[in-house]
Amino acid sequence: MLVFGLAVTLLVTWIYQGANWGFEKGPYLDFIPWLPVGVYQGQRYPGFLELSVYVDSLSVAMITMVALVTAVVHLFSLGYMRHDPRYPQFFLLPIVVRFFA
């Protein structure tokens, strides 16, 4: 299931890399109202702390590289840890790393 998720991530980033983010249209920038705070001057969403999302060609290339390297490590680890009694505990760490990457 995890390898399937990595494959989907790679596929989506490769499809959108050249066509949308950073090469032809320029970077994608969006502001999201996140935490309610006091009203300050110059806020796009008064009363909220803003979370911004900035995606350009370098970001997409890095996401693709991280997904590719993670997939290769997982596939190598499947064979390497096949007969180890702590097989499930070993795979907990790469799953957590992949989740937060």
d(CA 21, CA 87): 39
- List residues bridging with 31 in a β-sheet: 52
For residue 13, the model assigns a pLDDT of 67
Which DSSP string do the residues of 70-98 spell out, in sequence order? Answer: HHHHHHHHHHHTTT-TTHHHHHHHHHHHH
Q: What are residue 15's phi and psi, to 5 degrees?
A: -65, -45
Query: Is residue 20 predicted with pLDDT exceeding 60?
Result: no
pLDDT given for residue 24 in this prediction: 63
This prediction's pTM? 0.55
Please write the tens of the pLDDT for every residue from 27-78.
778 888 888 888 777 777 888 888 888 887 788 778 878 878 877 887 888 8
Check if the beta carbon of residue 49 is closer than 8 Å to that of residue 37: yes
